[in-house]
Amino acid sequence: MTTPTAPALNSLGFAKAPADTRVVVAMSGGVDSSVVAAQLAEEGYDVVGVTLQLYDHGAALAKKGACCAGIDIHDARRVAEEMGFPHYVLDYENIFKDAVIDEFADSYLAGATPVPCIRCNERVKFKDLLQTAQDLDADCMATGHYIQRKLGTNGPELHCATDANRDQSYFLFSTTPEQLDFLRFPLGHLPSKDATRELAAKYGLAVADKPDSQDICFVPNGNYASVIEKLRPGAAEPGQIVHADGRVLGEHEGVIHYTIGQRRGLGIGGLAEPLYVVKLDVDAKQVVVGPKEMLSTRTVPVREINWLGDAPLTSQPEWHVSVKVRSTRPPRGAVIRPLSDTEAEVELLTPEEGISPGQACVFYETGGSRILGGGWIWRGY
């Protein structure tokens, strides 16, 4: 008597036919998520496209170049119509405001430099939207992020994208193992963004040549201060620009107009040495400036850690890893010294400049592509 062979795994990792595999695709209206949806539809999967409306639709219609604007909702719907799968627009405006925008405003007012895209992935896309996908009886949810999910000896692992220039691991460090079980990232293995656009052209998508979004979706033209002033009227209180040695050098119109490491636009010209913002003292309404060497630090306090290593974070006193403290910087050698399951002190082997509370510190396997998690930088030095 022959033993029946198990069905082969499909491209999403399920032992059944694509037609019997339902996948919800998070569609922003851009080329990346559109290609994911089109590719899975062509492969025969039961695709359901979902686009999130994250802020006022009327305002969105007047604004181009952001991931969730009205034109993007239209583009996502058009791709779904072309490829023949259902598409839904979900109103997540209140969820987005409570989970992302309000904290962004409050963090900025507290002198931090927040990264709202991480919170959006963590609290909206990979939480509420993922739950919606499960409510739709989906087997998994796919996104257009440039990151890889690989099966390891202890389950799914998060790995950097093949194309280091497109890698989005810095923004996805807070993905939990439970979320990773349900998520799929079909673009992470592609060699370049050009390869994605070639696929879009192959599928005949109108968004094949659509430019990438550069801004945070609710911050047009990168003007953080104007957004904060609308969200928190009166927040831009004037104060003094003070040298680290105590000298008063000038006046400013609000701490929210400055970031750690800023050199240009300080309004204190005529000084012999170049000065940088080294501290934002919200309580004293002071912008503290000093020489560049004051920006260097080796010790980074991190909390709210999401750990993705195989052994518990606290199972050893030190972890020798690589870390990123800015999305645009390459990983550098570091030592993590756990204080608890969710807090640690990170020692950078080479000092970094311009590290600010509110940014993420993301952990990587030394010499490898695996993401070991990360946390939030939370106080000055």
Q: Which active-site residues does the annotation give?
A: 120, 217
Closest CA to 172 of 154, 187, 156, 160: 160
Closest CA to 253 of 233, 235, 270, 275: 235
Using DSSP, how many helices (H) and how many strands (E) does the chain show? Answer: 10, 17
Strand arrangement of the beta sheet that strand 183-184 belongs to: 87-91, 46-53, 22-26, 140-142, 183-184
- In this structure, which amino acid lies at residue 124? V
Residue 15 neighbours by CB under 8 Å, 6+ apart: 6, 7, 8, 9
d(CA 140, CA 156): 13
The pair of three-digit structure tokens given for residue 302, joined into one six-digit string: 């991190």
Assess contact for 370 and 364: CB atoms under 8 A: yes
Task: Indicate the helix (H) or strand (E) that contains 327.
Answer: none
Assess contact for 43 and 19: CB atoms under 8 A: no
Assess contact for 17 and 10: CB atoms under 8 A: yes
Please tell me what DSSP assigns to residue 7. P
| Cα separation values, 120 from 59, 210, 256, 331, Å | 20, 23, 22, 23
- In this structure, which amino acid lies at residue 322? S
- Can you list the pairs that 213-216 forms with residues at least 24 positions away whose Cβ atoms lie under 8 Å? 213/28, 213/30, 213/65, 213/66, 213/67, 214/65, 215/65, 215/66, 216/66, 216/116, 216/117
